[in-house]
Structure 1
Amino acid sequence: MTDKAFTFQTLHPDMIMDALFEQGIRVDSGLTALNSYENRVYQFQDEDRKRYVVKFYRPQRWSAEQIGEEHQFALELLQDEVPLAAPLRFHGETLLTHQGYYFAVFPSLGGRQYEADNLDQMEWVGRYLGRIHQCGRRMPFQHRPDISTQEYLIEPRQVFEQHALIPASLKAAFLSATDKLIEAVTAQWHTRFESLRLHGDCHPGNILWRDGPLFVDLDDARNGPAIQDLWMLLNGDKAEQRMQLETIIEAYEEFMPFNLNELSLIEPLRAMRMVYYLAWLLRRWDDPAFPRSFPWLAEEDYWRRQTAIFTEQVRVLGEPPLQLTPMY
């Protein structure tokens, strides 16, 4: 696979149309690009006025086995009546190929935006996350990775050190802040949890609302602690987060027990996401879509802010972890 394929420069509308036609789908509406940076995702309508979404996976990221595990997990969840966008089968297969690209076709399932401050909606989501994890604990992923400090901290640190986009005059301070954050996270990281198959990226943007939650995008599915699928739903100050967490866990435990040891991983996981996300942007910088969408990454002020953000997260990691209100 060429570098141009990695950055999707060889993926053109005619190629997409041809790939779909090979599966018996005639595009009648044209292709509407959806908001996705890692992959290329398009919505369209066929000649029978049925609406679909086609997703072309970025080459060199996931293997066929790893994508297959994502699809299998989605289909298991659908079988368990979890509302989720799962890939469609064509001739018995969900993972399709065309000119070196892996792709999949999904039904187009619309919905409203999930309301991140709505406790009633949060309760619904907590209940379904319990069901997702009930399915996820049946077996681990064999090919997809585990959430680990190696992938989320150590490897990104190497990207920071080598990447020329970070201004030379600011690099030493930024790397020092990164090292202190890695040290703080490593000191608090533990494995006193049951490792489950997870959604992996369960932020409010990956939940739609249509008479209940609809989960989308299992692209970052991994093995890891249950709290990974819960903490990104929290927002506001500590008191608000505690109320939200209590709402989610009470609903969650209708289907799955929750291990309170995992609460101490919320801020380490937040820090790991910060570091991993920033390294992801740098790894994708050769894709023309990234400089267009994230131009501030080339500005010195951005890296000063990131140094300050990492330093602040070290301070947060020194505070007591979020806890549930004691029950008497």
Structure 2
Amino acid sequence: MPDSNFSYLSLTPELQLDALASVGIYPETGLIQLNSYENRVSLFTDENKVRYVVKFYRPQRWSEEQLLEDHAFSLELKAQGNCLSEPVTIDNKTLFVFQGYYFALFKSLSARSLESDNLDHLYEIGISLGKLHQTSSQQHFQSREVLDTETMLVQPIKQLKQSKLIPNAIREPLFAALDSVAIQATALFNAQPFTSIRLHGDCHASNILMDNDTPYFVDFDDCKTGPAVQDLWMLLSGNQQEQQLQLSTLLEGYEQEFEFHVGQLKLIEPLRSMRIIHYVSWINKRWSDPAFPLNFPWFTTDQYWQELLQSLQQQIINMQVAPLSTQPNY
């Protein structure tokens, strides 16, 4: 369980440079901090003109076994021809520790951000995800988390009910909505059989970079076991007709490499509900980290909690209607 009082105040630039020196890496440029809240991630160029990304993992968030399994998964995928940002190996190691901080190095990719509305990109991503799942389905995680209702709904809701950040005026209707969403999402999730496989786990547009027409997956921190559709649904956006077209395009590519069971489409709205609730709980749990009030100042406003209540009420409706299909409606 992460330490709720933890902060990164001790992770100074000097300590980071000393950590890199401990594995024989000497930055020529300064450390440029990248957008990451759970970990601390920086870009730099070393003395040999090689561009790296260094990731210092949040202490107590993952065990050493989980981090090593994350790295082994990435290296296995890379060896099977999947395109991703894998950890750098130094002296037969990918995970290093310095003054209590685990860290890893990754080669910086010369690629651009995904255009989430580009159907050609989605088709190529579908092929790449199908190939990734073909590889990932061949073995199982031993230490990584499982995507289930206990970790994504039960525990987050329990934690939110103990929060002092939620305005008193909205607590009663908010908790009622949370409980209703949990009951409905759990019923739908448990009613739909699926084969669990190893997943990227956090496969949204910001975690995919495009090199020409080739997708590269980054940030496997949240790799876990669960249904294949978890790595697909976050790439959908817009209204229902737009999402169905995007889904059809993704699956057209995906099924060239791996079979997709269409029954899993019934899991999209339950999974969306789980992500909404887990995300809110994550910010609440990290609030003592100074970076969170700085970057999420809206979290304690009445407007945010009112909008969250409306989102939860909408999810109750969304989970009652027919799921997306594999054929777009024109």
Instruction: Quickly name the TM-score band, shorter chain normalised.
Output: over 0.9
Cα displacement (A) at 1:87: 0.3
Cα displacement (A) at 1:92: 0.5
Please say if residues 152 and 272 of structure 1, whose CA atoms lie closer than 8 Å, have aligned partners that are also in contact: yes
- Residue aligning to 1:314: 316
1:286-305 maps to which residues of 2 (within 5 A)? 286-305=288-307
Q: Secondary structure at the match of 1:103?
A: strand
Cα displacement (A) at 1:5: 8.4
1:189-204 maps to which residues of 2 (within 5 A)? 189-190=189-190, 191-204=192-205
Aligned counterparts of 2:167 and 2:4: Cα–Cα separation in 1: 26
Cα displacement (A) at 1:222: 0.4
- Residue aligning to 1:216: 218
Cα displacement (A) at 1:325: 2.4
Please say if residues 123 and 247 of structure 1, whose CA atoms lie closer than 8 Å, have aligned partners that are also in contact: yes
Aligned counterparts of 2:78 and 2:8: Cα–Cα separation in 1: 30
Please say if residues 5 and 11 of structure 1, whose CA atoms lie closer than 8 Å, have aligned partners that are also in contact: no
| AA of the residue aligned to 2:61 | R
Cα displacement (A) at 1:169: 2.1
Cα displacement (A) at 1:241: 1.2
1:204-283 maps to which residues of 2 (within 5 A)? 204-211=205-212, 212-283=214-285
| AA of the residue aligned to 1:207 | I
Please say if residues 6 and 60 of structure 1, whose CA atoms lie closer than 8 Å, have aligned partners that are also in contact: no
Please say if residues 136 and 197 of structure 1, whose CA atoms lie closer than 8 Å, have aligned partners that are also in contact: yes
1:135-154 maps to which residues of 2 (within 5 A)? 135-154=135-154
Aligned counterparts of 2:51 and 2:317: Cα–Cα separation in 1: 48
Aligned counterparts of 2:35 and 2:219: Cα–Cα separation in 1: 12
Q: Secondary structure at the match of 1:189?
A: helix
| AA of the residue aligned to 1:203 | H
- Residue aligning to 1:77: 77
Unaligned runs of 5+ in 1: none
Aligned counterparts of 1:323 and 1:49: Cα–Cα separation in 2: 49
Tell me how many residue pairs correspond in the alignment: 326
Cα displacement (A) at 1:83: 1.1
- Residue aligning to 2:182: 182
Scaled by the length of structure 1, the TM-score of the pair is: 0.97
Cα displacement (A) at 1:167: 1.2
| Compared CA separation, residues 247 and 3, structure 1 to 2 (3 A) | closer
| Compared CA separation, residues 31 and 5, structure 1 to 2 (3 A) | farther
| Compared CA separation, residues 2 and 324, structure 1 to 2 (3 A) | closer
Residue 68 of structure 2 is aligned to residue 68 of structure 1:
yes
Cα displacement (A) at 1:42: 0.4
- Residue aligning to 1:37: 37
Cα displacement (A) at 1:4: 9.2
Cα displacement (A) at 1:2: 10
Scaled by the length of structure 2, the TM-score of the pair is: 0.96
Q: Which deviations, in whole Å up to 9, do the C-alpha atoms of 1:268-310 show, x marking residues without a partner?
A: 0001000000000001100000000000111111111111110
Aligned counterparts of 1:82 and 1:5: Cα–Cα separation in 2: 39
Please say if residues 127 and 251 of structure 1, whose CA atoms lie closer than 8 Å, have aligned partners that are also in contact: yes
Aligned counterparts of 2:231 and 2:2: Cα–Cα separation in 1: 34
Residue 78 of structure 2 is aligned to residue 98 of structure 1:
no
Aligned counterparts of 2:165 and 2:5: Cα–Cα separation in 1: 22
Unaligned runs of 5+ in 2: none
Cα displacement (A) at 1:50: 1.1
